């Protein structure tokens, strides 16, 4: 996991520099670019586990990561930063879309499977979301004429500089792929050792590791007092996990459910954290410190119940 976090950090850094070089705007960068790049561990775990015939690990990881992002990660950021304002019309308007996409996999799983057609629907949903997001971002930037305020200070001057960042990003992604393959094998061994399902291990153990990039980005954003980066990163990651990555996983290896109790508990807690997050952020347009504490407590309760269910 440490190798995955390090490789992801390097990939995010290079990805962000390349994106700012082509003048991608801050909020769009946070939600699409950084949200996508911090989900790289989940993507590699999904592809690796799907090709290895262990899709339950990926499903557990993605569900666990989403619950973690909307509870202890965002809650922890609010505790550290005292409060997180919900900035801009963009976040407030698209919160509903995020919630719908986050719940879409659960709705598609009602029949007990997440098949290839379901995966195509999820991927298509992400593409629609992305297209709408980019169009809104372009329109708002044009209207506000903010281009001069959001160009990065780290503007790349030469083609050689861009190539260096591309090489670094490619190498870090290669390391990430190898580490993901190793982690899938470790997760299977842990499941056998505990007598737990691979879904449970993905949900609790693997998800804890794959959400570390979001934690790192969130803490750095708290230090910079960049509310748009915190929320954009986490909401973007939730959308990417629920639609694009889960869709890719279903296309690679359709999932037939076992361990229905664990999945049922996960679905309930997903509804709870989505509801609380919506309630907290819509009422005052900010996430207060005590509300962050509630979200962290909800996650601890979720983990505790999952351990009890394991017995």
Q: What is the mean pLDDT of each run of 10 residues along the chain (311 residues)?
A: 58 57 53 70 83 85 91 89 69 73 87 89 91 66 46 50 63 60 66 75 82 77 73 83 92 79 83 88 80 93 86 65
What pLDDT shows up at residue 54?
Answer: 81
Whole-angstrom distance, CA of residue 202 vs CA of residue 207: 6
Whole-angstrom distance, CA of residue 204 vs CA of residue 76: 18
What pLDDT shows up at residue 218?
Answer: 78
What pLDDT shows up at residue 53?
Answer: 83
What pLDDT shows up at residue 173?
Answer: 55
pTM exceeds 0.75 for this model: yes
Residues 6+ apart with CB under 8 A from 131: none
What pLDDT shows up at residue 300?
Answer: 94
CA distance readout (Å), 281 to 66, 94, 199, 217, 232: 17, 12, 31, 20, 14
Whole-angstrom distance, CA of residue 279 vs CA of residue 133: 23
Whole-angstrom distance, CA of residue 217 vs CA of residue 223: 10
Phi, psi dihedral angles at 67 (to 5 degrees) = -65, -40
Whole-angstrom distance, CA of residue 68 vs CA of residue 133: 24
Whole-angstrom distance, CA of residue 172 vs CA of residue 168: 6
Residues 6+ apart with CB under 8 A from 194: 200, 201, 310
What pLDDT shows up at residue 83?
Answer: 80
What pLDDT shows up at residue 246?
Answer: 93
In the 8-state DSSP scheme, what is residue 245? I
Say if strands 255-256 and 113-114 run parallel, antiparallel, or are unpaired.
antiparallel
Instruction: Pick the closest to residue 7 from 237, 180, 161, 160 (CA basis).
Output: 180
Instruction: Pick the closest to residue 200 from 54, 101, 1 (CA basis).
Output: 54
What pLDDT shows up at residue 151?
Answer: 43
What pLDDT shows up at residue 155?
Answer: 47
Number of neighbouring beta carbons within 10 Å of residue 291: 23
DSSP run (H or E) holding 289: helix 289-310
Instruction: Please list the residues that pair with 287 across neighbouring strands.
Output: 84
Q: Which domains does the chain have, with CATH numbers?
A: 28-150+183-310 (1.20.1420.30)
Tokens matching residue 280: 């907290």
Phi, psi dihedral angles at 160 (to 5 degrees) = -60, -40
Query: Is the Cα dihedral 53, 12, 215, 108 positive or negative?
Result: negative
């Amino acid at each position: 996991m440490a190798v995955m976090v390090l490789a992801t950090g390097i990939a995010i850094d290079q990805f962000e520099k390349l994106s700012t070089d082509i003048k991608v705007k801050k909020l769009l960068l946070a939600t699409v670019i950084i949200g996508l790049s911090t989900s790289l561990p989940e993507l590699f775990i999904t592809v690796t586990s799907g090709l290895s015939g262990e899709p339950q690990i990926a499903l557990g990881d993605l569900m666990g990561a989403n619950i973690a992002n909307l509870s202890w990660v965002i809650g922890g950021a609010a505790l550290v930063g005292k409060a997180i304002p919900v900035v801009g019309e963009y976040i407030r308007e698209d919160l509903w879309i995020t919630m719908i996409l986050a719940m879409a996999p659960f709705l598609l799983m009602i029949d007990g499977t997440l098949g290839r057609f379901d995966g195509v629907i999820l991927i298509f949903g992400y593409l629609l979301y992305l297209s709408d997001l980019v169009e809104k971002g372009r329109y708002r930037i044009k209207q506000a004429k903010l281009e001069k305020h959001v160009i990065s200070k780290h503007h790349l001057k030469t083609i050689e500089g861009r190539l260096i960042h591309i090489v670094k990003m490619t190498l870090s992604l290669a390391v990430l792929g190898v580490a993901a393959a190793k982690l899938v094998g470790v997760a299977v061994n842990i499941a056998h050792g505990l007598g737990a399902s691979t879904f449970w291990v993905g949900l609790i153990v693997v998800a804890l590791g794959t959400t570390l990039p979001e934690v790192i980005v969130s803490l750095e954003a708290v230090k910079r007092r960049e509310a748009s980066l915190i929320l954009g990163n986490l909401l973007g990651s939730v959308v990417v996990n629920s639609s694009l990555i889960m869709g890719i996983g279903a296309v690679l290896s359709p999932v037939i459910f076992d361990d229905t109790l664990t999945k049922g508990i996960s679905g309930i807690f997903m509804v709870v954290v989505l509801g609380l997050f919506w309630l907290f952020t819509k009422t005052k347009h900010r996430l207060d410190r005590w509300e962050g504490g509630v979200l962290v407590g909800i996650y601890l309760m979720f983990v505790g119940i999952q351990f009890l269910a394991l017995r």
